[in-house]
Amino acid sequence: MLLLKSKWAMTMQKRMLLGISLSVGLLSGLAVAQDPIVHDAEYYILEAQNGERWAAEDESLDARLAELRKKHGTPPNIIHVMWDDTAFGDVGIPAIQQVRGLRTPNLNRMAREGILFTRMYTEVGCTPSRAACMTGRHPIRNAMYNIGMLREMHGLRGSEATIAEVLSKAGYATAFHGKWHLGDIEESYAHNQGFDEAFFTGYNQILSLWTRRGEGANATIGLYEDMLPSDPYKLDDTFVTKGWAQVLEGKKGQLARQWGDNSHDT
C-alpha cells in the first residue's frame, strides 16, 4: 500500500491507528472531529511513548505544506496506489526483502524520502483494508470486515465519511480507477462515496473465477444456476439476487453504468 507524503495520512496513522504506508500531504486540519475520539487501548500507550515526537513531526509537515502552497498556489496532488497480497516487508524494508529474494529499489527510495508506516490495524483482506483506508476507521465499526463476494447486496454505507469526501470539501478533484471491492449496492460505489468519477471493479481481481469455466471447476458454486442440478428444497427465489456487475463506471451523483458484460474476455 503506497501513498506519497501526506499530513492526512500521518494524522490518521497517529490518531486513528491506521497507518497508510507512504504519503503526499494535504492541508493540515482537514479532518477535525467535533467530538473527542475514543481510541482503542494501544493508541494511548503509543501516544505516551511517541507524543512529543509526533508533535514535532506535525510541525515539520505543516511547515513543508505551507512552503508548497506558497510556491505553487495550491495544495499538493495526491496519488494513492494500493495493491493486494503483499506481505509485511515485501516493499520498503531492504533487510526483509533480502531474506525473500525481493528487490524494489525505486519503491524503497520512495519509502526513504517519504514516510514509511509499519502499523495497519484492520482485519486481513481486500475489503477491510480498503474500508480502513477510505474511512480511517476499523472495518468492524462499519460492517466491512468480511471480504465481499458476488451477489451479496451489501457494501459501505452512504453515511460513512471517506477521504474522497474530505478532499472534495477542500477543493480537490477526485477520481478512482481500479479495484474498489467495497460493496455491490449503489450507495457503496466509488462515485457515491465522494469521488467525482470512477472506473472500477466491484469484486476481487481474479476475473477468471467468475465465469462458466470457473463454475465448472468448482472455483465458484451457484453463479450459473443452469449448470447445477435442480434443488428439490427450493420453494421460492423471489428475493434471491440473480445478477451482478463486475466492472462499472460512474460520475458523482449519477447511477453506475456497467462496462461490458461479466465475461473474462471483456
Q: Examine the residue annotation and report whether 181 is marked as an active-site residue of this protein.
A: yes
For residue 55, the surrounding DSSP H or E stretch is helix 41-72
Is residue 117 pLDDT above 90, yes or no? no
* Region of poorest pLDDT, from 91-105, 143-157, 177-191, 226-240: 226-240
Is residue 102 pLDDT above 90, yes or no? yes
Give the total residue count for the chain: 266
Average pLDDT value for residue range 141-169: 91
* Region of poorest pLDDT, from 31-45, 80-94, 192-206, 249-263: 31-45
Q: What is the pLDDT of residue 257?
A: 93
CA dihedral defined by 27, 117, 60, 73, rounded to 10 degrees? -30
Q: What is the pLDDT of residue 263?
A: 65
Q: b vs e for 221-245, b when ≥16 Cβ sit within 10 Å of the residue's Cβ?
A: eebeeeeeeeeeeeeeeeeeeeebb
Q: What is the pLDDT of residue 22?
A: 31
Q: What is the pLDDT of residue 23?
A: 35
Angle at 15 between CA 14 and CA 16, to 5 degrees: 100
Q: Tell me what the pLDDT averaged over the chain comes to.
A: 82
Q: What is the pLDDT of residue 20?
A: 32
Catalytic residue selected from 126, 133, 138, 191: 126
Is residue 120 pLDDT above 90, yes or no? no
Is residue 7 pLDDT above 60, yes or no? no
75 — pLDDT class (breaks 50, 70, 90): confident
Q: What is the pLDDT of residue 8?
A: 40
* Region of poorest pLDDT, from 69-78, 89-98, 214-223: 214-223
User: Is there a contact between 25 and 62 (Cβ–Cβ < 8 Å)?
Assistant: no
* Region of poorest pLDDT, from 45-54, 86-95, 172-181, 255-264: 255-264
Distance between CA atoms of 9 and 178, rounded to whole angstroms?
Answer: 21
3-state class of 111 per DSSP? helix
Catalytic residue selected from 80, 133, 138, 181: 181
Distance between CA atoms of 78 and 26, rounded to whole angstroms?
Answer: 8
Q: What is the pLDDT of residue 105?
A: 94
Average pLDDT value for residue range 215-244: 82
Q: Where are the domains of the chain?
A: 1-121, 123-266
Q: Examine the residue annotation and report whether 191 is marked as an active-site residue of this protein.
A: no
Angle at 30 between CA 24 and CA 35, to 5 degrees: 135
Q: What percent of the chain has pLDDT over 70?
A: 86
* Region of poorest pLDDT, from 94-98, 135-139, 191-195: 135-139
Cell of 65: 505544506
Average pLDDT value for residue range 7-15: 40
Tens digits of residue pLDDT in 189-223: 999 999 999 999 888 877 778 888 888 888 887 88
